[in-house]
Amino acid sequence: MGAKPAVSIIMPAYNVASSISLTIESILRQSYVGWTLCIVDDGSTDDTREIIQEYVNRFANIKCLTIDNTGSARIPRLTALGLTNSEWVCNVDADDVLECDYLERLLHRAEETQADIVTPLMEYVDSEKNVYQTVPPSSFDFSTVLSGKDAAMLTFSHGTGSWIACNGMLCKRSLYEKMIASSDMTLKYVYQDEVDFLKILLLADHVAFERASYYYFRNPVSVTHRVSVKSYDKLVTEVSYRDLVRDNYSSEIAYLMEKRLFDTVIRRRIKYEKERSYFNVHERFSIESMFRYAFSNLNRHVWYGLWKQLLLVSYGCFSLAVKLVNITKNVCQR
């Protein structure tokens, strides 16, 4: 493979004392050894910091920085990037696992295709360690090499689910730097990473794929999976995502994202009706503000289908209709 390039693994961490050792051990077992692991602890309140420090004390290629809590993986992830200077960057979450030849295979694929991004096979693993979903799906042709713009389409052209794994992707550092230069680095939305990764894909010349497994373990206590105001950040970031698609694709392709935005608003509203009682008055106001923002940004010139068009009459009509549907569904299930 010639001279082996250095790889920086960037990892945000927050209250992952129960999982981070497994993640770090999977990195230590890599067949490719030219890596540096940079972890930024987002002000954890459990033993995360102490566990990381044990590894820092033992291994010279593991670094750690602790910052005040931001409530977002985005800020610590990009802070970790600032601790590195390697050509290649691989983003890994602190509760996921890499197979032992992961980095070696992604680097080989990058050299083979001259791609500036290589994305893996993400395998979603349940609490009993069974794989229940893969991204891309099993039918995907991993020999494919796409332009960045075509690869970015895989994140939104199949509904609300992405067909490309951004977790664990091997990426040229220069793409991160270009993304940062055109982004608001103060944003702390939980889902802002999705917008960042879309920008990175759009900046790429070539994106390749490698069937190297990145094991994503569903964390039931993470912000995105538990009852939390922050889980509704999606309403704000999805508007930014839609705008980015609008700016880079034809109206026919952007239409797919318009539909996804409306579907996200509806799904989040159904979720909110189930969770409303858990929130106090201040939290409800914050969530309602995000709904109003997303609803006001829906494209009224797009035909979504008859029943969805009726929901567009007003925000009050929309919220009442979803509430009535939820009540009816609950009654029928009794």
**Tens of pLDDT along 301-312?**
888 888 888 889
Q: What is the mean pLDDT of residues 40-45?
A: 97
Is residue 237 located within the same domain as residue 326? yes
Q: Which of 184, 217, 250 is the last residue of a domain?
A: 217
Q: What is the mean pLDDT of the chain?
A: 93
Is residue 194 located within the same domain as residue 306? no
The yes-or-no verdict on residue 219 having pLDDT over 70 is no
Is residue 126 located within the same domain as residue 196? yes
Is residue 189 located within the same domain as residue 283? no
Q: What is the mean pLDDT of residues 241-255?
A: 95
Give the model's pLDDT for residue 333. Answer: 57
Output the pTM of the full model: 0.91
Q: Which residue has the tokens 């993640």?
A: 23
Q: What is the mean pLDDT of residues 208-219?
A: 92
Return the CA Rg of the chain: 21
The yes-or-no verdict on residue 328 having pLDDT over 70 is no
Q: How far apart are CA 242 and CA 264, in angstroms?
A: 11
Q: How confident is the model at residue 23 (pLDDT cuts 50, 70, 90)?
A: very high
Is residue 184 located within the same domain as residue 270? no
Greater confidence (11 vs 324) lies with: 11
The yes-or-no verdict on residue 136 having pLDDT over 50 is yes
**Tens of pLDDT along 145-178?**
999 999 999 998 887 679 999 999 999 999 999 9
Structural domain boundaries, residue 259: 229-333
Q: Is residue 224 part of a domain?
A: no
Give the model's pLDDT for residue 306. Answer: 83
Is residue 279 located within the same domain as residue 156? no
Q: How far apart are CA 168 and CA 270, in angstroms?
A: 31
Between β-strands 170-172 and 117-125, what pairing exists: parallel, antiparallel or unpaired? antiparallel
Q: Is residue 155 part of a domain?
A: yes
Is residue 13 located within the same domain as residue 87? yes
Q: What is the mean pLDDT of residues 229-244?
A: 96
Q: What is the Cβ-side half-sphere exposure of residue 14, based on CA atoms within 13 angstroms?
A: 19
HEC string of the chain equals: CCCCCCEEEEEEECCCCCCHHHHHHHHHCCCCCCEEEEEEECCCCCCHHHHHHHHHHHCCCEEEEECCCCCCCHHHHHHHHCCCCCCEEEECCCCEEECCCHHHHHHHHHHHHCCCEEEEEEEEECCCCCEEEEECCCCCCCCCEECHHHHHHCCCCCCCCCCCCCCCCEEEHHHHHHHHHCCCCCCCCCCHHHHHHHHHHHHCCCEEEEEEEEEEECCCCCCCCCCCHHHHCHHHHHHHHHHHHHHHCCHHHHHHHHHHHHHHHHHHHHHHHHHHHHCCHHHHHHHHHHHHHHHHCCCCCCCCCHHHHHHCCCHHHHHHHHHHHHHHHHHHHC
Give me the number of domains the chain comprises: 2
User: How many CB atoms sit inside 10 A of residue 191's CB?
Assistant: 23
Q: Which of 168, 187, 217 is the last residue of a domain?
A: 217
Give the model's pLDDT for residue 225. Answer: 67
Is residue 68 located within the same domain as residue 157? yes
Q: How confident is the model at residue 1 (pLDDT cuts 50, 70, 90)?
A: very low
**% of the chain beyond a pLDDT of 90:** 83
Is residue 234 located within the same domain as residue 298? yes
Q: How far apart are CA 181 and CA 204, in angstroms?
A: 15
Q: Is residue 2 part of a domain?
A: no
User: How many CB atoms sit inside 10 A of residue 247's CB?
Assistant: 9
Is residue 14 located within the same domain as residue 106? yes
Q: What is the mean pLDDT of residues 282-294?
A: 97
Which residues contact residue 240 at a Cβ distance below 8 angstroms, ignoring those fewer than 6 apart? Answer: 192, 195
Is residue 75 located within the same domain as residue 212? yes
Q: How far apart are CA 23 and CA 28, in angstroms?
A: 9
Give the model's pLDDT for residue 158. Answer: 83
Q: How confident is the model at residue 226 (pLDDT cuts 50, 70, 90)?
A: confident
> What are the structure tokens assigned to 47, written together?
């033993």
CATH number at residue 148: 3.90.550.10
Q: How confident is the model at residue 324 (pLDDT cuts 50, 70, 90)?
A: confident
